[in-house]
């Protein structure tokens, strides 16, 4: 495995003429990331992964505690990258990615990026779309892999490559959950044992919705009154457009975000029957 930290090193490291799979991450790798990389390894001749905590997608362009406290430990990530068969790792600095300070030209995600997560985190998806576009230009992959846990991100990136004619296939990989049902996330590291137990109400409520055991309103009420939990949002939306659904029809995507202590957690569930 080759570690690169500059754009030139990355360009020189990627041989052309091979199918390239790409997994962009922000590090603090876990089994969810591993599932992306293992699928990419099976479907491509060359596997590239990136590790970059992108300030553009955080509040105040990174001048916030969420960005400052986001877990970063490249040395701890290396063994998982090697285990998953990654050929090239791109781990640039902020200055390498944005050498002229903040970019003047951004990719705007419009209405798709302003709802749900975007309503709670204004500008977040513009930051995601901008850095992903840069990474696609640098890596030039045939396929790129994203976790279904970030369902809105997947939908936005699918629309990004369609609207901008970027020649990459977007592959969504199913959510990986812990034995207790909590969706794997780098932010889980910041939960205390008590907070992790409190957070389990989120996957439980989503499973009830999938089974049609409760209504959307009842699901919101259960999350809003759960001990230690603050509800941000829970909505049923069209999986492709993210437009809200008046009722829980199929197909539907139910997306939710909660706060448990200082940690913001997201999850979702697809309803197909």
Which of 30, 33, 69, 233 is the catalytic position? 33
In angstroms, what CA-CA distances link 229 with 57, 151, 178, 181, 192? Answer: 24, 21, 19, 17, 13
Torsion (CA) 242, 244, 249, 253 in degrees, nearest 10: 40
The pLDDT assigned to 272 comes to 87
Would you give the end-to-end CA distance of the chain in angstroms?
43
Q: pTM for the full model?
A: 0.91
The pLDDT assigned to 250 comes to 85
- Each residue of 143-176: pLDDT tens digit? 999 999 999 999 999 999 999 999 999 999 999 9
The pLDDT assigned to 240 comes to 86
Catalytic annotation on 33?
A: yes
- Each residue of 208-263: pLDDT tens digit? 999 999 999 999 999 999 999 999 999 999 998 899 998 888 899 999 999 999 99
Q: For the chain, give the mean pLDDT.
A: 95
Burial of 273 (0-12, 13-18, 19+ CB in 10 A): exposed
Q: Higher-confidence residue: 262 or 39?
A: 39
The pLDDT assigned to 159 comes to 95
Mean pLDDT to the nearest integer, 56-83: 95
* Structural domains in the chain plus CATH codes: 2-173 (3.40.50.620), 186-267 (3.30.1300.10)
């Amino acid at each position: 495995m080759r570690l690169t930290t500059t754009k030139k090193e990355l360009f020189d490291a990627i041989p052309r003429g091979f199918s390239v799979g790409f997994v962009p991450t922000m590090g603090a790798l876990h089994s969810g990331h591993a599932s992306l990389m293992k699928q990419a390894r099976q479907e491509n001749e060359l596997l590239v992964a990136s590790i970059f905590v992108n300030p553009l997608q955080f509040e105040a362009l990174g001048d916030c505690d969420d960005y400052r406290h986001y877990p970063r430990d490249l040395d701890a990530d290396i063994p998982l990258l090697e285990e998953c068969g990654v050929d090239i790792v791109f781990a640039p600095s902020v200055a390498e990615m944005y050498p002229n300070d903040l970019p003047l030209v951004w990719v705007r995600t419009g209405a798709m990026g302003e709802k749900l997560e975007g309503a709670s985190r204004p500008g977040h998806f513009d930051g995601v779309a901008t850095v992903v576009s840069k990474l696609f230009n640098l890596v030039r992959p045939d396929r790129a892999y994203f976790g279904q846990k970030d369902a809105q991100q997947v939908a936005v990136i699918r629309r990004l490559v369609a609207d901008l004619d970027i020649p990459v296939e977007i592959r969504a990989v199913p959510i990986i959950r812990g034995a207790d049902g909590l969706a794997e996330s780098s932010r889980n590291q910041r939960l205390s044992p008590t907070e992790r137990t409190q957070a389990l109400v989120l996957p439980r409520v989503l499973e009830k919705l999938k089974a049609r055991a409760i209504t959307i309103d009842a699901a919101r009420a259960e999350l809003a009154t759960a001990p230690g939990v603050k509800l941000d949002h829970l909505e049923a939306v069209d999986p492709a457009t993210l437009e809200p659904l008046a009722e829980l029809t199929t197909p539907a995507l139910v997306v939710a975000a909660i706060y448990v202590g200082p940690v913001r957690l997201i999850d979702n569930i697809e309803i197909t029957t």
